[in-house]
Amino acid sequence: MYAVIVGGGKVGANVGRALLRMGHEVSIVEARPSRFATLEAEFEHMARYGDGTEVFVLESAGMARADVCIAVTGDDEDNIIIGQVARDHFGVENVVARVNDPRNQEHFDLLGVAPTVCATESILSLIEHEVPQHSLVHLFSLRRENLDIMEIGVVGESRADGLAVGDLPMPAGTLLISVLRRRVGRVATPDTVLEAGDQVVVIAEPGQESALMEIFARE
């Protein structure tokens, strides 16, 4: 696989290293001269100097034959344009983009640049997972596929408390995939009986949160 990484900061460089270890071919495009010098010392000809939002720079980096474009600069407007140009002009099938400011996520979604990765959102999800403030926590979103993976705490006296998984009135478009009890996760079977304090992991189409809360979280 050939990956063109635009943005050679910590994220871009480490993604590049990981892909190389996996045996893939990589180019890293970097616009800052001093950062480029550092990258070139490590990545040699795989490091390319230039503004990765310029069409000719992407062209010389071989974007036209790239299997994946990874837009991970520190500027969201640049990552959006890189993603659009890679997809629409160079015909790259897979685009992965970094969201620096979570407030810009809606622009990536609107303009069709997906999937995206946002460090702030990931950290917040982890905090919620470790120290839940709410009984429903979004663990992971597959935006393009229109699926959310979430974790829900089973509240005592809720409808789910004491019911077997197979007897749960799960809404359409949702699937309970595992039960975490005392920090041990198990893939759910229909005869697993839920108890208060369990965490269930559910994969669902968006918009099912309140229906799920009705089952697991309301007394």
Q: Which is nearer to other proteins, 88 or 145 (CB)?
A: 88
Name every residue whose Cβ is closer than 8 Å to that of residue 197 and which is 6 or more positions away in sequence. 153, 154, 156, 181
Q: What's the min distance (Å) between Cβ of 107 and other proteins?
A: 6
As beta bridge partners, residue 186 has 179
CA distance 117 to 115: 7
68-71/2-6 β-pairing: parallel
CA distance 89 to 85: 5
Q: What's the min distance (Å) between Cβ of 148 and other proteins?
A: 22
Q: What's the min distance (Å) between Cβ of 79 and other proteins?
A: 9
Name every residue whose Cβ is closer than 8 Å to that of residue 214 and which is 6 or more positions away in sequence. 159
CB-based contact 67:81 (threshold 8 Å) = no
Instruction: For residue 77, state whether it binds other proteins (rule: CB under 8 A).
Output: yes
CB-based contact 195:179 (threshold 8 Å) = no
Interface positions, 41-60, toward other proteins (CB under 8 A): 53-56
Instruction: For residue 167, state whether it binds other proteins (rule: CB under 8 A).
Output: no
Instruction: Quote the tokens at residue 134.
Output: 């709410």
Instruction: For residue 106, state whether it binds other proteins (rule: CB under 8 A).
Output: yes
Q: What's the min distance (Å) between Cβ of 106 and other proteins?
A: 7
Segments of 15-160 assigned E as strands: 25-30, 47-49, 68-71, 94-99, 116-118, 136-142, 147-153
- Binding residues for other proteins, rule CB under 8 A, total 20
Instruction: For residue 145, state whether it binds other proteins (rule: CB under 8 A).
Output: no
CA distance 219 to 216: 8
Interacting residue with other proteins among 19, 27, 48, 76 (CB under 8 A): 76
Instruction: For residue 78, state whether it binds other proteins (rule: CB under 8 A).
Output: yes
Q: Which is nearer to other proteins, 105 or 178 (CB)?
A: 105
Instruction: For residue 89, state whether it binds other proteins (rule: CB under 8 A).
Output: yes
Instruction: For residue 30, state whether it binds other proteins (rule: CB under 8 A).
Output: no
Instruction: Quote the tokens at residue 111.
Output: 């303009």
Instruction: For residue 75, state whether it binds other proteins (rule: CB under 8 A).
Output: yes
What does the binding site for other proteins look like in residue numbers (CB under 8 A)? 53-56, 75-78, 80-81, 85, 88-89, 101, 103-104, 106-107, 110-111
